[in-house]
């Protein structure tokens, strides 16, 4: 009887989560993104799989809504890749909560992920996980706590080993080629 009660409570919680995800459409529709009931159900099921595979437990609302709110206006997310990208982002989120040994709070990690996804990774979740977050998590494990003052924003440049092309660099190279 206890098992049935637990299962009923779990089903009720999941149904509430699904309805909450569908309600997010009010905001995301402005960016051309919507979730059907089936999409939301799939995201919740995939979240549960991700939690199991990363051996994590979530209390409260979880991170799906936060991820959707933070990433819905991304230039790299379309209706065609919406579910896939959100699923990958939630997997990455749980993986790097573990990798950073839970030193980052959810908002710090999501802020960092969003910034790198847009500015460094150009929407490439593999690059986000294998490069940006790997270096950041390594620094956090080594004791870096500078992200606490910034909420996770503007942190990657301290760890980035790739020199990015920007206006100043471009002008410097032109000067070296043509005027030296």
Give the span between the Cα atoms of 109 and 174, in whole angstroms.
Answer: 38
What's the chain's Rg over C-alpha atoms? Answer: 19
Residue 62 is predicted with a pLDDT of 84
Residue 40 is predicted with a pLDDT of 96
Residue 160 is predicted with a pLDDT of 67
Residue 47 is predicted with a pLDDT of 93
Instruction: Read off the pTM.
Output: 0.82
What does each of the 180 residues of the chain score in pLDDT, given as a tens digit? 566 776 777 788 889 899 999 999 999 999 999 999 999 999 999 999 999 999 998 877 789 999 999 999 999 999 999 999 999 999 999 999 999 999 999 999 999 999 999 999 999 999 999 998 999 999 999 998 888 888 888 777 766 666 555 667 777 877 888 876
Q: What ranges do the domains of the chain cover? A: 2-179
130-139: Cβ within 8 A, 24+ apart: 132/156, 132/160, 133/92, 133/96, 133/99, 134/99, 135/159, 135/160, 135/161, 136/96, 136/100, 136/112, 137/96, 137/99, 137/100
Give the span between the Cα atoms of 156 and 128, in whole angstroms.
Answer: 11
Cα 29 to chain centroid, rounded: 20
């Amino acid at each position: 009887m206890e098992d049935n009660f637990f299962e009923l409570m779990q089903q009720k919680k999941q149904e509430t989560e699904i309805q909450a995800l569908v309600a997010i459409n009010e905001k995301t529709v402005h960016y051309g993104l919507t979730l059907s009931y089936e999409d939301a159900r799939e995201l919740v099921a995939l979240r549960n799989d991700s939690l199991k595979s990363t051996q994590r437990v979530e209390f409260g609302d979880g991170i799906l809504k936060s991820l959707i709110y933070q990433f819905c206006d991304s230039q790299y997310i379309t209706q065609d890749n919406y579910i896939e990208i959100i699923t990958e982002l939630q997997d990455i989120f749980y993986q790097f909560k573990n990798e950073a040994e839970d030193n980052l709070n959810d908002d710090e990690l999501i802020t960092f992920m969003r910034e790198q996804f847009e500015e460094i990774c150009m929407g490439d979740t593999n690059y986000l996980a294998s490069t940006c977050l790997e270096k950041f998590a390594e620094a956090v494990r080594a004791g870096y706590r500078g992200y606490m003052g910034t909420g996770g924003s503007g942190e990657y440049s301290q760890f980035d080993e790739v020199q990015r092309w920007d206006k100043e660099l471009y002008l410097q190279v032109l000067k070296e080629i043509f005027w030296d």
